[in-house]
Amino acid sequence: MRKPIIAGNWKMNKTAAEAKALIEELKPLVAKSKPEVVVCVPYTDLWAVKEAIEGSKIHLGAENVAWADSGAFTGEISADMLKEIGVEYVIIGHSERRQYFGETDESVNARLKQALKKELKPIVCVGETLTEREKNRTKRVLKKQVLEGFKDIAAEDFANIVIAYEPVWAIGTGKTATAEDANKTIGYIRSLVRKTWGAEVAKALRIQYGGSMKPANAKELMAERNIDGGLIGGAALKANDFAAIVNYKNA
């Protein structure tokens, strides 16, 4: 019922020329893919990637968006700037933004509202750190991130929202949550959404897993009932690996 969505998060990697080359390599490999395929790329790559994906099934995403329409916000990029290029998706609240750039649930909420207002599809990231996990605070942390991050968001807006559950300790570390564990935690996130926004919304909402997802573990993760896709960092930088995740059913 929920169409799986596999999104690459390139982070601060690939110049525009390198981006173009990666997309050219990727295109034939995902031409027959069943899941929705998205690449979220650095701002400076957006035009080149937009041109390169023309005529393919790959969707374009950015890695952040400003909460304001325009104005004195040095270094920020607005939703209109992204829309003009043809950007469809935008990652919001990635743990690296929270960790290194001071993003909070409040700023996530503001960016999310702006993305929805401008008809960009947000991929909102939530997840606990290792310390929080070890102190048994995972549920408490996720509850806060969901309730505050999605504060005042209307039920109907969830049709355009994707959540990415990314345990911070699994990002770029090679450590993955077990499929069972990830499924359980994502089930908890779904139950939070159900309580506030209703059963229909929770049932239709796509929730991805992210954190060292790779060809070797994609099939197992994707087999879980609650996992509707992946947000892929490191493995999205290699066409073969990313395509193998997208085509996990053939593995």
**Dihedral sign of CA atoms 231, 228, 212, 129 in order:** positive
Q: Which residues are catalytic?
A: 94, 166
Residues from 4 through 63 that contact ligand PGA (CB under 6 A): 9
d(CA 239, CA 250): 16
d(CA 57, CA 243): 13
Pull the structure tokens for residue 1: 């019922």
How many other CB atoms are found less than 10 A from the CB of residue 44?
11
- Residue 210 makes contact with ligand PGA by CB under 6 A: yes
CB 137 within 8 A of CB 169: no
Give the shortest CB-241-to-ligand PGA separation in angstroms. Answer: 10
Give the shortest CB-6-to-ligand PGA separation in angstroms. Answer: 11
Q: Which is closer to ligand PGA, CB of 116 or CB of 235?
A: 235
Q: Which stretch binds ligand PGA (CB under 6 A): 30-38, 154-162, 195-203, 204-212?
A: 204-212
Which DSSP helix (H) or strand (E) runs through 74?
Answer: none
- Site residue total, ligand PGA (CB under 6 A): 13
Q: Which stretch binds ligand PGA (CB under 6 A): 26-34, 52-60, 109-117, 165-173?
A: 165-173
- Residue 114 makes contact with ligand PGA by CB under 6 A: no
Give the shortest CB-199-to-ligand PGA separation in angstroms. Answer: 29
- Residue 222 makes contact with ligand PGA by CB under 6 A: no
Q: Which is closer to ligand PGA, CB of 46 or CB of 125?
A: 125
Among positions 122, 215, 229, 233, the unique one binding ligand PGA when judged by CB under 6 A: 233
Pull the structure tokens for residue 32: 């027959």
Radius of gyration of the chain measured on its C-alpha atoms: 17
Phi-psi domain of 184 (left: phi exceeds 0; alpha: psi -120 through 50; beta: other):
alpha
d(CA 118, CA 212): 31
- Residue 103 makes contact with ligand PGA by CB under 6 A: no
Given the rule CB under 6 A, which residues bind ligand PGA? Answer: 9, 166, 171-172, 210-213, 231-235
